[in-house]
Amino acid sequence: MIRTKDIFKSFDEKEVLKGITTEFYQGKTNLIIGRSGAGKTVLLKLLVGLLQPTSGEVWYGDTNFFNLNKKEVRAIRMQVGMLFQASALFDSMTVEENIRFPLDMFTNMTYKEKRKQVDSCLERVSLSGVNDSFPSEISGGMQKRVGIARAIVLNPRYLFCDEPNSGLDPKTSIVIDELILDITKEKNITTVINTHDMNSVMEIGENIILLYQGEIAWRGHRGEVLESDNETLQDFIFASPFLQRLRESALGK
Amino acid sequence: MFLKNILYHFGRYVMMLGTAISRPEKVSMYYRETMRQMNDIGIGSLFIVGLIAIFIGAVTAVQFSYQLDGTLVPVYYIGYVVRDMTIIELAPTFTCLVLAGKVGSNIASEIGGMRQKEHIDAMEIMGVNTAAYLIMPKVIAALVVIPMLVAVGAFISIIGGYLASVPTGVMADADYIKGLRSFFDPFNVTMMFIKAVVFSFILTTVSCYQGYHVRGGSIELGQASTNAVVFSDILILVADYLLAVILTS
């Protein structure tokens, strides 16, 4: 489990996060949702230590992340996998080399063992046989899946996904969502997903926080979204008249 | 404000180097990266260094023979001047100024591009010490390979001087060889290598710094690449002066 306690973050005069206190549960898909500029990416970057908070704490289990020295931070990061918005695959490496990179860097496995591990990760994301392709030679959806394969290759305890569905068509988005959900359950890991994809909210939102102007405006799970009368949530989720009508019909209004 | 800016960048540069100097997570990965960089910097720059060196030697010989024209200075001095000018000053300084343009801008763009595409963040999250992994192999490779390039450049430069003066009839083959063998001080070669090592350190670390801290988009990346060349060149020239004062006093 990951906990944040009273996180504040400012850039110069601009306060982006204002006292975020929340929990991200193990074995669940935890979603951070909100409009562009609400502070989702900043919160995610704070959780993985790419940014330092102005004040506040982030706890990985019983460990206060920002009290650790560099060596201890790296030890925690060995347990972290992250899928980036643009996948962040290394262009000059093949798919296999990308996924193998953490194994090359941190394990003493033989080449054969590493190859086996890479193949099993690729198989897990339904991408067997693309080992020798370069990132530029595969589609955006495939790149995301390779990103997920690389994120899980060291069997992390924590998985972070920054807008995993951005730039993908609805069908591929569903595949990615299901994959993340399945991996979370299989490996019983803590998954934190930063998204503004409504389908993800309704399909895999087991623990959701809605950020609005740097604060948590709503928290709950997907089952509570339809019936909630929180105006900020409804404004955000059912932004278009079409979605509003859909909600009304679902509620039988 | 200007001084504050300089101190800010200097502090950040020193901190970056402090982080970069650490025990590698996996020696074999760093070794492989260092070898790749040695190939890129060394083999990749051999042609341009050779081309520039041959003209430096040729121009030095032609211009010195022009200055000697009508004087009582023996003609074999051309060989002597080409040799010493090349070894002491032209080979290390010219080569490193050119490499600041070629290698320095390449390093800044490569690291800056990785920063912008979140590759560096991805490595950080994996637990990689990115300052060490991205900077140290480049610095080590440059410290090994650039002095070699400078030595090759000095040799080619002397050949360039020969080609510009002997076949063209400015002087006889024996005179040029005599000049090359006259008044030789081995310390000049040491000075060349000291300069080459210092300049390589400057051009790689300054370029890494510019790339590693790039923010924004393609315009900022272009600026970082330009800054890498400009600041490396300025610092190389300042260091050249300081080394000249220190090593010849």
Ordered by start, the domain boundaries in chain B are 42-248
How remote is the C-alpha of A61 from its chain's centroid? 18
Ramachandran bin of A212, using left for φ above 0, alpha for ψ from -120 to 50, beta for the remaining angles: beta
| Nearest partner of B207 among B87, B37, B56, B89, judged by Cα | B37
Q: Which amino acid is at A197?
A: D
Phi, psi of B213 (to 5 degrees): -105, 20
SS3 A56: strand
User: Where does residue B83 rank: exposed (0-12), middle (13-18), buried (19+ CB within 10 A)?
Assistant: buried
Question: Which chain B residue is nearest to residue A77, measuring alpha carbons?
Answer: B127
Any residues with CB less than 8 A from the CB of B52 and at least 6 apart, and which?
Answer: B94, B95, B98, B153
Ordered by start, the domain boundaries in chain A are 2-79+156-250, 95-154
pLDDT tens track for A62-120: 889 989 888 888 888 889 999 998 889 999 999 999 999 999 998 889 999 999 999 99
| Nearest partner of B52 among B84, B91, B14, B25, judged by Cα | B91
CA distance A92 to chain B (A): 11
CB burial readout A72-105, b (16+ within 10 A) else e: ebbebbbbbbbbbbbbbbbeeebbbbbbbbbbbb
Which one has a higher pLDDT value, A240 or A42? A42
What is the helix (H) or strand (E) element at residue B51, kind and residue range? helix B44-68
By the CB < 8 Å criterion, does A91 face chain B?
yes
The shortest CB-CB distance from A104 to any of B29, B117, B124 is to B29
Give me the torsion for CA of B122, B128, B129, B131, rounded to 10°. -50
CB burial readout B167-191, b (16+ within 10 A) else e: eeebbeeebbebbbeeeeeeebeeb
Lowest mean pLDDT among A164-168, A239-243, B106-110, B239-243: A239-243
Look at B121 and A88 and tell me if their CB atoms are within 8 Å: yes
Q: What is the pLDDT of residue B33?
A: 94
Q: How far apart are CA B124 and CA A88, in angstroms?
A: 12
By the CB < 8 Å criterion, does A78 face chain B?
yes
Distances (CA, A) of A121 to A97, A190, B144: 13, 18, 39
| Range list of β-strands (E), A174-214 | 190-195, 207-212
Q: How far apart are CA A30 and CA A27, in angstroms?
A: 9
Angle at the Cα of B162 from the Cα atoms of B157 and B166, rounded to 5 degrees? 165
Phi, psi of A23 (to 5 degrees): -130, 145
Look at B127 and A82 and tell me if their CB atoms are within 8 Å: no
- For chain B, the first-to-last Cα distance in angstroms comes to 36
Task: For residue A75, list chain B residues with Cβ-Cβ distance below 8 A.
Answer: 127
Spatial contact of B41 and B141, defined as CB atoms under 8 Å apart: yes
CB atoms within 10 A of CB A239: 13
By the CB < 8 Å criterion, does A90 face chain B?
yes
CA distance A86 to chain B (A): 8
Q: What is the DSSP letter of B81?
A: H
The shortest CB-CB distance from A88 to any of B25, B29, B118 is to B118
By the CB < 8 Å criterion, does B31 face chain A?
no
Band (pLDDT 50/70/90 cuts) for residue A170 is: confident
pLDDT tens track for A7-41: 999 998 889 999 999 999 999 999 999 888 888 99
SS3 A41: helix
Question: Residues in chain B, how many?
Answer: 249
Enumerate the β-bridge partners of residue B82. none
Spatial contact of B177 and B206, defined as CB atoms under 8 Å apart: no
Q: Count CA atoms closer than 13 A to B84's CA, side-chain side.
A: 13
Task: For residue A70, list chain B residues with Cβ-Cβ distance below 8 A.
Answer: 129
**Residue A253 predicted with pLDDT over 70:** no
What is the helix (H) or strand (E) element at residue A93, kind and residue range? none
Q: How far apart are CA A96 and CA A119, in angstroms?
A: 8
By the CB < 8 Å criterion, does A68 face chain B?
no
Enumerate the β-bridge partners of residue A192. A30, A160
Which one has a higher pLDDT value, B98 or A196? B98
Instruction: Answer yes or no: is the ipTM higher than 0.95.
Output: no
CA distance B206 to chain A (A): 23
By the CB < 8 Å criterion, does B27 face chain A?
no
Ramachandran bin of A129, using left for φ above 0, alpha for ψ from -120 to 50, beta for the remaining angles: left
Name the superfamily (CATH) of residues A2-79+156-250: P-loop containing nucleotide triphosphate hydrolases (3.40.50.300)
CA distance A87 to chain B (A): 9
Q: What is the pLDDT along chain B (249 residues), one digit of tens a residue?
A: 889 999 999 999 999 999 999 888 889 999 999 999 999 999 999 999 999 999 999 999 999 999 888 888 888 999 999 999 999 999 999 999 999 999 999 999 999 999 999 999 999 998 899 999 999 999 999 999 999 999 999 999 999 999 999 999 888 999 999 999 999 999 999 999 999 999 999 999 999 999 999 988 889 999 999 999 999 999 999 999 999 999 988
Question: Which chain B residue is nearest to residue A90, measuring alpha carbons?
Answer: B119
Q: What is the DSSP letter of B172?
A: -
Q: What is the pLDDT of residue A230?
A: 86
Q: How many CB pairs under 8 A join A and B?
A: 50
Spatial contact of B196 and B183, defined as CB atoms under 8 Å apart: no
Spatial contact of B37 and B141, defined as CB atoms under 8 Å apart: yes
Look at B26 and A104 and tell me if their CB atoms are within 8 Å: yes
Q: How far apart are CA B145 and CA A228, in angstroms?
A: 66
CB atoms within 10 A of CB B12: 13
User: Longest C-alpha distance within chain A, in Å?
Assistant: 62
- Strand arrangement of the beta sheet that strand A80-83 belongs to: A80-83, A158-162, A190-195, A29-34, A207-212, A215-220
Question: Residues in chain A, how many?
Answer: 253
